[in-house]
Chain A
């Protein structure tokens, strides 16, 4: 019988922090600026410069640590990681080594309906390097140092992950947590949320870890999952053929969907970490941690559970609504104006989501300027619930509100879109329809109930869609039977 293997995965996530300025100087962190615009002598490693730690970075790291059940280190240190590369101006990266700011936390994930705890080894702060650009000029590589000194969190998991799917789930949950905390925009394609994976396999039931490989260039959730699946298969196949694995770093090639060797253990760097003498130890006082703890919002998992419980929403709706903090906030503020949770949810996950995507508003971390304010959406649902407009008219009004910025009530009044509910008007319209379509009336009366829909449609058309459909149905049915 062939050996069954267990997959062992540990992840290392780099999350760019959303501070206004860089970690050790006052330069802006704004994305998409002209190359080397966001630089100064400090972040370009000029002689004589010294780093000064941005307090916000420490605060954000503590937020992340508290939200992932970590212990906050009372005295942590910044250390230098030494290596040469043109996009690393000082010849060392300021990071943390022996005393990271957060240690031993965990995140609970749900896989196939079962809850599972993934432990975190540590979370530490460090500076990002610049960007090397190799493909613009044939004769030279270019370096853009705008990113040099942008603050990063490195979040390291224990090797508790057992499949590519678990890895994907872990990453998604982690990303939502960071987004909820307002400290990272989680954009994998832009590189503000990056992931490396350590993967190995071992015969099921054994404890000793197999030879691991480190995977890099995982630029999307899909890449993470596919690369891990590929790599696990490669490990198992290699072992099955009686060959040995090499401890190495491998790059994921998303075009060919394979991993390629980048460097092996022997050529691995000796980073010569040592405490940075330019920076004092980071001392975190308990009352500051308490203050930060109190500022942490309700996180997605808790909110999801509450939405199911309190707002009586299906799991699917609750999950979608809490996938972003701004959406969940939007939902709850709309709910304050009109308490129909399911209807509001339907509008949000359907129509509103489509608009956000079309207008690329979903690329923002936290939307503050909504295309339709939550109160307006609530008003729209209330108009339906009160029978003042039909569902179909509501769609028209929704579009109108988007275009004009006016509230649904105003649109209804201005365009006379209020539903016809008085029987007299509807009856008049129906009488006309019956007169105009004797053939269909006759057919219905012969027992072909299919034409009923057609006749309803004609009534709606005659009333410009304003007829209360329920009433129109009732009256039409009555008229058709009565005159039989």
Chain B
């Protein structure tokens, strides 16, 4: 087995016992990248030299036995919307083509402090807007299971890199499903923590009230370990919660007896790929065999979630992306005057989907439309939140499919934004409500493409969904299957 196929937990154990050095592991990962990258194209920027240096430093610490962090010496890929000091950060946009950040995102700082080795910056849909990574201004990333298909998005690069063993684990962001849906498409584990659990400082903002950072990993245990390293209050992010962070790995007991699992009927719609629904239903009955109590529930406002999301998210995005004006950094088009400079820079710098969302968001905030769109959407958002509050009075977690279909073909939906938006049907409500949710593999369709199951938890209760996922994972082998590249 190639060393790069190790899980974080296994690799960490071997590093600690000094069977393996971080340098060897990092070299193995870059070896794998050199083989797989041509086909997968997960990365926008590779940081081999600095990674090997970090590995060397990690080895010194491992030798001294000084640092006990499980991330020490582990090669981790970071989505290219995290600011990384001195490392080009493009957000997969031409407007930031040459942008080298003057500071590290808090999360990046945290994993550096834990001793992680940063392998590079992964591809995404431009400004994290999309569900296929086809909206990258540079190139699309391919699904390691089938190179003619998308890896999902927007964290498609981070998901594909994990699935193709081009890193040990990765970080992504999730605004409407951007960690969970690509995790499902690529057959790996992806967690979107509770809004406020992880700092957003230094993450290029898309929709500030929903953006959240999370891990993409090879299994549930790894997911708990990475979450541990990034969770916690950050004084630089007013929306990050000053709340106790439990030890997530300690919650992984596999004991889910008498846990009450809600299955919302609205999530099994007619538009869903039957194989996806079947795989998820089968996984649910397996959870019941482990002693969980399964009951059907209703989240009645689910049907409005996509509409609400595309109002709130685009409104916030239209304002968040105003700073890309070519004045202080990023692309500036030659122009005769100020107005032209703004127009030409933004016209050439932003891609179609980003422009579509800026226009949409500007519209819903405009005088005369604000009440009908933005304000109304916020009211419906409150109802969607209330649905979950009600459901969690009788449930410990909610189980749904992660995406209505398995990975679709490159080019299949790119011309039809509405079809593309429906890829996030099952994940969007969670962001509107600020809840934690993860996706993990629960089978394959007839074409050999992975299916993901979503587990949604109560606010700040990542532990419970991690444990349910762990219990399920322990009794299946889905996560051990590897794409043939």
A90 contacts which chain B residues (CB < 8 A)? Answer: 322-323
* Interface pair B239/A278, CB less than 8 Å apart: yes
Taking each of A41, A45, A272, A279, which has the highest tally of chain B beta carbons within 10 Å of its own beta carbon? A272
**Which single member of A52, A143, A272, A277 contacts B236 (CB below 8 Å)?**
A52
* Interface pair A84/B325, CB less than 8 Å apart: yes
**Which single member of B202, B238, B318, B319 contacts A48 (CB below 8 Å)?**
B202
From residue A61, how far is it (CB to closest CB) to chain B in Å? Answer: 18
* Interface pair B374/A274, CB less than 8 Å apart: yes
* Interface pair B204/A52, CB less than 8 Å apart: no
Whether B31 is near chain A, meaning CB under 8 Å from some CB there, is no
Q: A48-B83, A82-B365 are in contact. Are A92 and B319 (CB under 8 A)?
A: yes
* Interface pair A52/B235, CB less than 8 Å apart: yes
CB closest chain-A residue, reference B329: A46
Whether A50 is near chain B, meaning CB under 8 Å from some CB there, is yes
**Considering the chains assembled together, what is the distance between the CA atoms of A14 and B205 in angstroms?**
30
A63 contacts which chain B residues (CB < 8 A)? Answer: none
Whether A457 is near chain B, meaning CB under 8 Å from some CB there, is no
Whether B221 is near chain A, meaning CB under 8 Å from some CB there, is no
Whether B264 is near chain A, meaning CB under 8 Å from some CB there, is no
Q: A91-B322, A277-B316 are in contact. Are A270 and B367 (CB under 8 A)?
A: yes
* Interface pair A48/B329, CB less than 8 Å apart: no
Whether B200 is near chain A, meaning CB under 8 Å from some CB there, is yes
**Considering the chains assembled together, what is the distance between the CA atoms of A52 and B235 in angstroms?**
8
Q: Report, as a range, how many residues of chain A touch the other chain.
A: 20 to 34
Is the contact region of chain A dominated by helix, strand, or loop, or is it mixed? loop
Per-residue interface assignment for chain B, residues 76 to 95, with 1 indicating a CB less than 8 Å from any chain A CB and 0 otherwise: 00000011000001010000
B200 contacts which chain A residues (CB < 8 A)? Answer: 50
Q: Which of B300-351 contact A (CB under 8 A)?
A: 315-316, 318-319, 321-325, 327-329, 338, 342
Whether B209 is near chain A, meaning CB under 8 Å from some CB there, is yes
**Which single member of B207, B208, B237, B323 contacts A47 (CB below 8 Å)?**
B323
Is the contact region of chain B dominated by helix, strand, or loop, or is it mixed? loop
A391 contacts which chain B residues (CB < 8 A)? Answer: none
Q: Which of B338-380 contact A (CB under 8 A)?
A: 338, 342, 362, 365-367, 370, 374
* Interface pair B101/A46, CB less than 8 Å apart: yes
Whether A175 is near chain B, meaning CB under 8 Å from some CB there, is no
B362 contacts which chain A residues (CB < 8 A)? Answer: 272
Per-residue interface assignment for chain A, residues 375 to 391, with 1 indicating a CB less than 8 Å from any chain B CB and 0 otherwise: 00000000000000000
Whether B201 is near chain A, meaning CB under 8 Å from some CB there, is yes
Q: A270-B366, A279-B238 are in contact. Are A89 and B105 (CB under 8 A)?
A: no
**Considering the chains assembled together, what is the distance between the CA atoms of A86 and B91 in angstroms?**
22
Whether B203 is near chain A, meaning CB under 8 Å from some CB there, is yes
Whether B478 is near chain A, meaning CB under 8 Å from some CB there, is no
* Interface pair A80/B238, CB less than 8 Å apart: no
Whether B99 is near chain A, meaning CB under 8 Å from some CB there, is yes
Q: A92-B319, A277-B209 are in contact. Are A48 and B328 (CB under 8 A)?
A: no
From residue B308, how far is it (CB to closest CB) to chain A in Å? Answer: 14
CB closest chain-A residue, reference B234: A50
Whether A280 is near chain B, meaning CB under 8 Å from some CB there, is yes
Whether B102 is near chain A, meaning CB under 8 Å from some CB there, is yes
A210 contacts which chain B residues (CB < 8 A)? Answer: none
Whether A107 is near chain B, meaning CB under 8 Å from some CB there, is no
From residue B381, how far is it (CB to closest CB) to chain A in Å? Answer: 12
**Considering the chains assembled together, what is the distance between the CA atoms of A89 and B201 in angstroms?**
17
* Interface pair B319/A41, CB less than 8 Å apart: no
A47 contacts which chain B residues (CB < 8 A)? Answer: 83, 89, 91, 96, 99, 101, 204-205, 323-324, 329
**Considering the chains assembled together, what is the distance between the CA atoms of A280 and B323 in angstroms?**
21
B209 contacts which chain A residues (CB < 8 A)? Answer: 277
**Considering the chains assembled together, what is the distance between the CA atoms of A412 and B200 in angstroms?**
70
Whether A480 is near chain B, meaning CB under 8 Å from some CB there, is no
Whether A44 is near chain B, meaning CB under 8 Å from some CB there, is yes
**Which single member of B83, B105, B323, B342 contacts A45 (CB below 8 Å)?**
B323
* Interface pair A45/B328, CB less than 8 Å apart: yes
**Considering the chains assembled together, what is the distance between the CA atoms of A247 and B290 in angstroms?**
72
CB closest chain-B residue, reference A84: B342
CB closest chain-B residue, reference A274: B365
Q: A84-B325, A89-B328, A272-B366 are in contact. Are A48 and B105 (CB under 8 A)?
A: yes
A209 contacts which chain B residues (CB < 8 A)? Answer: none
* Interface pair A46/B238, CB less than 8 Å apart: no
A52 contacts which chain B residues (CB < 8 A)? Answer: 235-238
B204 contacts which chain A residues (CB < 8 A)? Answer: 47-48
CB closest chain-A residue, reference B201: A50
* Interface pair B325/A91, CB less than 8 Å apart: yes
**Considering the chains assembled together, what is the distance between the CA atoms of A46 and B330 in angstroms?**
10
From residue A231, how far is it (CB to closest CB) to chain B in Å? Answer: 27
* Interface pair B322/A51, CB less than 8 Å apart: no
* Interface pair A41/B102, CB less than 8 Å apart: yes
**Considering the chains assembled together, what is the distance between the CA atoms of A84 and B346 in angstroms?**
12
Taking each of A46, A52, A279, which has the highest tally of chain B beta carbons within 10 Å of its own beta carbon? A46
From residue A43, how far is it (CB to closest CB) to chain B in Å? Answer: 11
**Considering the chains assembled together, what is the distance between the CA atoms of A244 and B241 in angstroms?**
56
Q: Which of A22-81 contact B (CB under 8 A)?
A: 41, 44-53, 80
A270 contacts which chain B residues (CB < 8 A)? Answer: 366-367
CB closest chain-A residue, reference B339: A84
CB closest chain-B residue, reference A87: B327
CB closest chain-A residue, reference B315: A274
**Considering the chains assembled together, what is the distance between the CA atoms of A393 and B82 in angstroms?**
75
CB closest chain-A residue, reference B211: A277
A84 contacts which chain B residues (CB < 8 A)? Answer: 322, 325, 342
From residue B79, how far is it (CB to closest CB) to chain A in Å? Answer: 12
Taking each of B235, B236, B366, which has the highest tally of chain A beta carbons within 10 Å of its own beta carbon? B236
From residue A49, how far is it (CB to closest CB) to chain B in Å? Answer: 7
B205 contacts which chain A residues (CB < 8 A)? Answer: 47-48, 278
B322 contacts which chain A residues (CB < 8 A)? Answer: 82, 84, 90-92
From residue B5, how far is it (CB to closest CB) to chain A in Å? Answer: 33
**Which single member of B102, B238, B318, B338 contacts A53 (CB below 8 Å)?**
B238
From residue B455, how far is it (CB to closest CB) to chain A in Å? Answer: 26
**Considering the chains assembled together, what is the distance between the CA atoms of A80 and B204 in angstroms?**
18
**Considering the chains assembled together, what is the distance between the CA atoms of A143 and B200 in angstroms?**
29
**Considering the chains assembled together, what is the distance between the CA atoms of A278 and B199 in angstroms?**
12
A273 contacts which chain B residues (CB < 8 A)? Answer: 365
From residue B235, how far is it (CB to closest CB) to chain A in Å? Answer: 7
From residue B281, how far is it (CB to closest CB) to chain A in Å? Answer: 37
B319 contacts which chain A residues (CB < 8 A)? Answer: 80, 82, 91-92, 272, 274
CB closest chain-B residue, reference A86: B327
* Interface pair A50/B89, CB less than 8 Å apart: no
From residue B365, how far is it (CB to closest CB) to chain A in Å? Answer: 4
Per-residue interface assignment for chain A, residues 282 to 316, with 1 indicating a CB less than 8 Å from any chain B CB and 0 otherwise: 00000000000000000000000000000000000
* Interface pair A280/B329, CB less than 8 Å apart: no
**Considering the chains assembled together, what is the distance between the CA atoms of A89 and B367 in angstroms?**
23
From residue B347, how far is it (CB to closest CB) to chain A in Å? Answer: 14
Q: A270-B366, A274-B315 are in contact. Are A48 and B201 (CB under 8 A)?
A: yes
A143 contacts which chain B residues (CB < 8 A)? Answer: 327
B316 contacts which chain A residues (CB < 8 A)? Answer: 277
CB closest chain-B residue, reference A42: B236
Instruction: Supply 8 A–B pairs (Cβ within 8 Å), ascending by A.
Output: A46-B103, A47-B324, A48-B202, A90-B322, A92-B322, A270-B367, A272-B367, A279-B238
Q: A48-B201, A48-B205, A50-B238 are in contact. List 12 more A-B contacts (CB 8 A).
A: A41-B103, A44-B328, A45-B328, A47-B99, A48-B83, A48-B203, A50-B200, A52-B236, A86-B338, A90-B323, A92-B319, A274-B370
The 7 closest A-B pairs by CB, nearest first: A91-B322, A272-B365, A277-B209, A277-B208, A48-B202, A45-B323, A48-B83
